[in-house]
Amino acid sequence: QLQRSEQELWSDLGLRALRVGKVDKALKIFSELYEHHYNSSTGKVLFSAAKTLCQMLEADVPMVLPEGMDLPAVIHELACQAITLCHSDLLLDCLELCKCTRVAMDVYHQCQLSDDYGFISKDLSLEASQWTFQDVFNEDCIVLDPVSVLPVQYKITNCLLPVSQDSKLFPLDCSCLSHCSFEDGSNYMRPLLGPLTNMLQMLQECSQLELALRVLVNLYCSCLQHVTSNVMDVKLSMQLHDAQELKKYNVCLNDFRKITTSSLNVVALGLLNKVFNWRVVDCDLAIGLCTLLSKAEVFKLLWKVIDNTWQNYDKILAVARIGANLSSLYNKPEEHEKFLSVITDAEWGVKLSKLEISIQSVFRQCSERKSSLIPEMVKNRKITPDIILQYCSTFGLNRDHMINRYITTLLLLQEDEDSEGVISSGQGQLQSPCSADALERGLQIIPMLHSTSELIDSLCAAMFKLSPYNYERIEVVLKIIQAADENVTAISVSQAMGLLQHLKSYRRTSPPSDVENTYLLENGMLPDSLSSGRLPFHLLIQTKHYWKIISPEMSDETFPTLLLISKLMKVSLDKLYMSAANHVFERKMKPLILEQRQKGQGHCSNKDTFKVAKTMMKYIQCIQSPEWAAATAHKIAQELPAGYEKTKALEFCLALGDAWLKDPNLEEAARARGETFLSKLKLQFQRSATENTLIMSQLGSPEHLKLTGLPARLIVALYEHSSVEQRFRETTGLAYPDIHAAVKEIASINNVDLVKIRCILLEKWICKTGPAVTKELGNQDCFTDIEEDPDLMRVVYILQSCPVEDAVDLLKPVLTAETWPLSTSGPRLTFCHRTRALLCLVRLADAETLEAQLQIPRNKSEYYLKCYIFVSQLEVLNIPYTLQSFLSSPKEGLVKGLWKNHSHEPQAVHLVADLCLEYQVYDPQLWNSLLQKLLSFNLISHLQKVLEAIVAVPALWEISSFSRTWRSLILAPFVSASLPLSPDQRTTLYRTFVLLLKCPILLNLDLIGIANRFSQFNLPAFALGTLLLIPCAGKKTQQVQGFLSICNPVAVLEQVDELMNTGELAGIPSQIRQTVLTFITQNRQHQKLIKTKHFNHLKQFIVTSGQPNQVKDLVDCLISQNCQDDADSLTHEYLKHRERQQGKRLRNGSISHNCLKEFLQMENEVSE
């Protein structure tokens, strides 16, 4: 009734469902059609359905899909089904649709992440190596965005099928772009430009280069085929089509060509790089991609890949083969040869890599460099001689040279391989398996050589590159040299084998020396564990460093073996004995001496030392050459530290030197050398004995040891030792060195006249002259004290070694002689010299001896000293006086005469003042002038003493210059002082303050001004002390309060402790402290002293004052400063003091908070 078949009905229903978006229902219908109506009509319907779906996806039409459906794959499947059923007229359209939907499907698959997509399922029937890795290239790229890319791809698909399904097609005509005809007014290629550009951009951004290449090539080929199929003949086409339309097609095709060319180069180059970076290079794909690029660019890329590939020889081989094929294709013979060379190297790289050998060091190097790989190949036990020969043949290497290299390298392998087979040297030597293997392999390949001469030379050199401790490998080399049957001139094989036999039976006793380590370092060898028990073969066979190796091995046990080795090596046996003697000295004598030094026994004989020395002398006496024997003994003596042993060793040297010179066959030159040696040795013996004496006497300072070659100067230096002064100045019972005994022994050793040296020293120290000596003698306070003059202390000490009578007899002539009596050419004596001699005599002898020898009354020795000093000072003024004339002269007349003629000289004024005070000459007129002169000559220190002395003489207070001198004396230091004060200026100002306390004219002084002066020089304690001397109480209180209000009271208290701690100030320091503490208490400035060392003074002051309000103020201050413990202590002491005054006693003697509570409660009661 409908006049339509079932197939047509189902076809209409399927297409209608598709148009309304019910894709799932439509697909079921199309599946039924394909299964039950297998004909060309179904093929046309399936073609239309696939094309319709493409258009819907382009337009983003809503549709109903089953969950998880891969729609692009379904569309492609529809197209594939259509091509199997369609009519021949529709075949080309279906083919184009299949290609486009396949690209769209692949694009869609790059937009999704699936658990099973992109992986190969495992087939258990295959080996793991067959399925784990793919040989076909699989591009790594970024996932695409389906929303962005699918509409564009389906638009391209629809543009490639531009003819509508409703259009009427002629026979052999098609709807696909590649085969359709030009349509007037329509250009089917133009709509493709935009989608193509967008698609390429998106694919390149996501590195989808393979898809980009497919899309680009597919699209350009379709466009080119479209134009070509319509313009087979230009003239005919001009007749069929409008010229303007053809021109537009031409322009459009050129645009496609430009886009395709530029994009194709970029995409192909990027994709080729990906192919080369894949696990396995896809050679077919790579060659195809290379043909898309220019020749220069291709070869440049290939060489870059080869250069940048590190030891991946499979990849290098594949790339090189690609290059070889391309260079052959492009007819590039030079490039072809280069790639063939790389192929050869890469094939060997692959081959050797399987044997765990790297060819990288010689890869792509010249043939000569290829030989450097031989050592690495030989180290590998998988390498056979055949592989070595094949390697030589491949790279054209010299056969004999490489075999020599093979054998040499075989023997130079690291001895670590041998260590497992080496048995301890003390139980016999067995050859290690590695050494036996090396010997066997070497003997096998030797017959392949044409000549063995080069091998012998190489082995002789190679032997010294082996570890010198690997006797087994060295023995293998020597046996191979013997097997080669050549005359060896470079080394004595028999001697070397004999040395090896000795060394195998020997166990070394010393650690490896620096010479061995240096040898290993210079020859590029690593440290060997065998060195701990073996001697180095190389260093012994070459004999250059023979003794440096043998010497440390010397001992009583090893000497016989070392003697045999030395005889075999034909070295000097004298050197062996010398080395043995040196060994005994270094290993036994030195430690013994060091131990004795540590125990303090280093300067006397010892039984153990004597035994070792006897052994050492036995070796020295075996030396045949007397010169060498003496030199050996002398060298040992030189290294001994100063002491008994060194002195005895030098005596032994002297005996050997005498024996050397007694040789009747000694040549003149040798005799001259011996005599020079002996003379120097005697001097050295004297120096050593002297040095030993110094050390034993505890006088071995560096300064004294430097003078051991100058005994006279040394004796002088010893008498000038600091301990001489310390004996007089220090009263503690310290132990001082006995300089007298040391000097006596040194003089005996060096044959020095000690009496002469003593006389010279007495002359030097007593006859000391100059202004400084005169000034010292003028100091009347210390005329009986020699401790101010080190020279006089040395005179006394040097004479203490003699009996007192001898000392007095020695110095007695000095008091009366005109010239120095102890020498023939001594200086002229002055009273200054006589005074110094008398000072020494007074110190050396007692009063009875002085009275008996010098006729000085017992109780007048000090007076006589004063007289000598006065006479010496008169002598300086060129006033001739003797002691007797001075004693008998009238002193007042002497003073006035001296004043009359010499008052213009400061020294004379000084002397006049001393004489007036000594002999009580108190003439007011003389003293008036004398004080003025002392002040004008700025003799301040002496003037202070004079003023202090004449204070006791009231008659002199009336002279006019008395007050002026006191005032000037007090004010003078302030004029010359400057900030910051030097120690001397500070001392002078202190003396000024002391004088101020003793000043009898305080009422006439400006005490406020003086206090200001002290304050200006940062001496507030002296300033406050000066203000306390103000007679007027009111004025004093006012000045003190004003001064304390502007100064730092802590600074005042600090200076009281630092500068006023002598007894000269009497009670002034405590008065100043009490004044400061009173001011602080009254002004409630307690916080200034809290947490200082003066706080205890403040606390004691307040407690003893007994004022509760003052105590409370301080307690409140302490609590506010968080000093609870101090507050408790203060209240406890105050309550204790108060109850002691009341005759009571604290119930609890410990400090507690109860005391503070009790005190506060008591204060509250008082206030109420």
pLDDT digits (tens, 9 = 90+) for 810-847: 888 888 888 888 887 778 888 888 888 888 888 878 87
Alpha-carbon span 1109 to 972, nearest angstrom: 47
Contacts of 106 (CB under 8 A, 6+ apart): 211, 214
| Same domain assignment for residues 996 and 923 | no
Residue 681 forms part of a structural domain: no
Residue 576 forms part of a structural domain: no
Average pLDDT, the chain: 80
Residue that terminates a domain, selected from 333, 348, 364: 364
With bands split at pLDDT 50, 70 and 90, how would you rate the model's confidence at 104?
very high
Rounded mean pLDDT of 738-761? Answer: 87
Highest mean pLDDT among 321-335, 451-465, 622-636: 321-335
Closest CA to 529 of 407, 418, 380, 371: 418
Residue that terminates a domain, selected from 491, 524, 539: 491
pLDDT tens-place string over residues 180-208: 888 766 788 888 888 989 998 998 889 88
SS3 of residue 312 by DSSP: coil
Residue 39 forms part of a structural domain: yes
Alpha-carbon span 1097 to 142, nearest angstrom: 90
| Same domain assignment for residues 299 and 445 | no
Joined tokens for residue 587: 């290993």
Rounded mean pLDDT of 700-712? Answer: 86
Task: Check whether 46 has a pLDDT greater than 90.
Answer: yes
pLDDT tens-place string over residues 618-628: 888 888 888 88
With bands split at pLDDT 50, 70 and 90, how would you rate the model's confidence at 1122?
low
| Same domain assignment for residues 59 and 193 | yes
Alpha-carbon span 1080 to 859, nearest angstrom: 57
Least confident of 9-13, 408-412, 931-935, 998-1002: 408-412
Task: Check whether 603 has a pLDDT greater than 70.
Answer: no
pLDDT tens-place string over residues 267-316: 888 888 888 888 888 888 889 889 888 899 999 999 999 989 888 889 89
Rounded mean pLDDT of 382-410? Answer: 80
- The total domain count for the chain is 7
Task: Check whether 1142 has a pLDDT greater than 70.
Answer: no
Other CB atoms within 10 A of residue 844 CB:
19
pLDDT of residue 528: 85
Rounded mean pLDDT of 379-392? Answer: 81
| Same domain assignment for residues 955 and 1024 | no
pLDDT tens-place string over residues 145-182: 888 888 999 899 989 888 776 666 767 778 888 888 88
| Same domain assignment for residues 360 and 370 | no
Alpha-carbon span 481 to 493, nearest angstrom: 8
End-to-end CA distance of the chain: 136
Residue that terminates a domain, selected from 271, 304, 335: 271
Alpha-carbon span 516 to 1025, nearest angstrom: 83
Residue 773 forms part of a structural domain: no
Residue 961 forms part of a structural domain: yes
510 class by beta-carbon count within 10 Å (0-12 exposed, 13-18 middle, 19+ buried): middle
Residue 150 forms part of a structural domain: yes
| Same domain assignment for residues 30 and 172 | yes
Residue 312 forms part of a structural domain: yes
Task: Check whether 78 has a pLDDT greater than 80.
Answer: yes
| Same domain assignment for residues 164 and 203 | yes
| Same domain assignment for residues 356 and 376 | no
With bands split at pLDDT 50, 70 and 90, how would you rate the model's confidence at 1137?
low
Which of residues 654 and 260 earns the better pLDDT score?
Answer: 260
Other CB atoms within 10 A of residue 22 CB:
17
Contacts of 403 (CB under 8 A, 6+ apart): 388, 445, 448, 449, 455
pTM for the structure as a whole: 0.48
Its domain, for residue 1155, covers 1084-1167
| Same domain assignment for residues 334 and 373 | no
